[in-house]
Structure 1
Amino acid sequence: MIPLGIIASQAASAGGGSLPPGATAFIDIKNGFYYSGGAERSVSDVMTGYDPSALTASGLFYDFNNLSNCPFAAGPLLSDFASALAAGCTIVFDLNQINPPYGFLMFLGDDVDYDASVNGISIEADWHTSDFGDVLIGNTDGLGSTGNHKLAVTLNRDVGGGNYEYAWSLDGGAADTQTVNYAASWTLATVAIGNDGTTDELLDNAYLRSITLYPAKLPADLPALTT
């Protein structure tokens, strides 16, 4: 269902935009610009499982009661994420949280969803970012409040000596970091966007405006990406 104040003519379509400097992929839902796999794409090229009526001029609208809006990265975007995670990457989320934060901003797993996966990484709106091992970074309450937020999360950055760094920066804040002694070397099968691959952890009353994928950034570079 399109929320009050949004009409069908405002639904996002192919629009103007450009790839942010240094980015690999850019899903700019608010402006209807999608770039992945080295080229501009349509929304249906890069995502499946979304409700077209939830594409609005404010972003992709998530309502916990709208179970038909459970998007996944597809095609070139899924390939971009697979290559990026293996090499180490930074993901930047831009969203407007209407209700108090709830659910997953993203789940990356080696099977179809969180429950089926043996390996995975959860980036949550209302809790930490974590993997199925030792990683646990960020705030205990995630985004922490309603309103506009930008979150940058670095995954699997090789820092040498068999160690890999994770980092988390919210709204221009200094990055929280953690280093683990294992790589995310499993095969990526699923990137669930705004959910956990099921309908259990859908974002609730939030507009996801954009997602930007970069090669792994240094922790000191993350605040500038979220200001």
Structure 2
Amino acid sequence: MSMLLNPYAFATGGGGGGTLPPGATSFLDFVNGFYYAGGSWQSVSAMLGGGFDPSAISGSGMYIDFSNANRPTVIGVLLTQLLAGLAAGVTLLFEVSTASSLGGFLIFISDTGNLDTAGDGIIVSVDGAISDFIALGLYIGTPVSGSGVHKIAITLNRDIGGGDYEYAWSNDGDAAETQSVSYAAPIMSDVTIGHDGAGNGNTLFQTYIRSITIYPAMDPADLPALTA
């Protein structure tokens, strides 16, 4: 199959094209091989490094499981954009697919990229929780469960005034659940996807990440439409 006809040809380099979702600032479409950040289409190898294994990408998405070697770390312009987004408030939309129950870290944002050594961090668990190292602990009443495709939208560090910052979660069209804290997110430097950077058993379980889309922070009322 020619490179022009093969949507996965850009999984390891080159660049790509596609359609950026309206309002998004970054987009990783692992199913179709389209990757966008910093105002232009990129190769996935310019966005993911560390223990990233390009062979984990297929027509089903990017596979992460405790038994495979794929342990991606966000790098380059995507890391810069994501950390700047966190400081300003950011919404992340994940589309995932699993043949089994969900478990593990969906994303881990920290000051070291390693759960064992981090002094500050924000943990998003795929089955329904957002927590940090201070006081945040948002646990979803109706979490993601069961096989199939799921959409999960999370908002981190949205400034709601009065010195308060809001976190929110919606999956599969459900009304968003929220929690606010009285402090801004600490300055972070590292982001891992699907694992904790330390090998402590927090890796995703038999999960394909189909896409990741990054937006400026959204109102919780807008999240159900994003995940429907």
Shared fold, TM over 0.5: yes
Aligned partners of 2:222, 2:127: CA distance in 1, in Å? 24
What SS is found at the alignment partner of 1:172? coil
Count of aligned pairs between the two proteins: 217
Percent identity over paired residues: 48
**TM-score, normalised to structure 2's length?**
0.90
Please report how far the alpha carbon of residue 120 of structure 1 lies from its aligned counterpart in structure 2 after TM superposition: 0.7
Give ranges in structure 1 of 5+ residues lacking alignment.
Answer: 1-9
Matches within 5 A, 1:190-205: 190-199=190-199, 200-205=201-206
3-state SS of 2:218 partner: coil
Name the SS of the counterpart of 2:204 in structure 1: coil
Which residue matches 1:4?
none
For residue 42 of structure 1, report the CA deviation from its aligned partner. 0.1
Structure 2 residue 111 is matched with structure 1 residue 84? no
Residue 141 of structure 1 deviates from its aligned partner by 7.5
Q: Is the 8 A contact 1:110 1:187 kept in 2?
A: yes
Q: CA RMSD in A?
A: 1.7
* AA aligned opposite 2:63: F
- Residue by residue over 1:152-183, the C-alpha shift from the partner in whole angstroms, topping out at 9 and shown as x without a partner, is 00000001110001110010000001111000
Q: Deviations over 1:124-162 (max 9, x none)?
A: 013411111221224267422222100000000001110
Choose from 8, 25, 29 the match for 1:12.
8
1:101–1:143 CA contact under 8 A, matched in 2: yes
Is the CA contact 2:72–2:194 (under 8 Å) kept in the aligned structure 1?
yes
Q: Cα 1:179–1:155, aligned 2, differ >3 Å: closer, same or farther?
A: same
69-78 or 11-20, larger mean C-alpha shift: 11-20
- 1:139 matches 2:140: yes
- Report what 2:3 is aligned to: none
Residue ranges of structure 2 left out of the alignment (5+ in a row):
1-5, 11-15
Q: Output the TM-score relative to the length of structure 1.
A: 0.90
Amino acid corresponding to residue 192 of structure 2 in structure 1: A
Distance in 2 (CA, whole Å) between partners of 1:218 and 1:174 is 12
Q: Secondary structure at the match of 1:204?
A: coil
How far is the alpha carbon of 1:216 from its aligned partner? 0.3
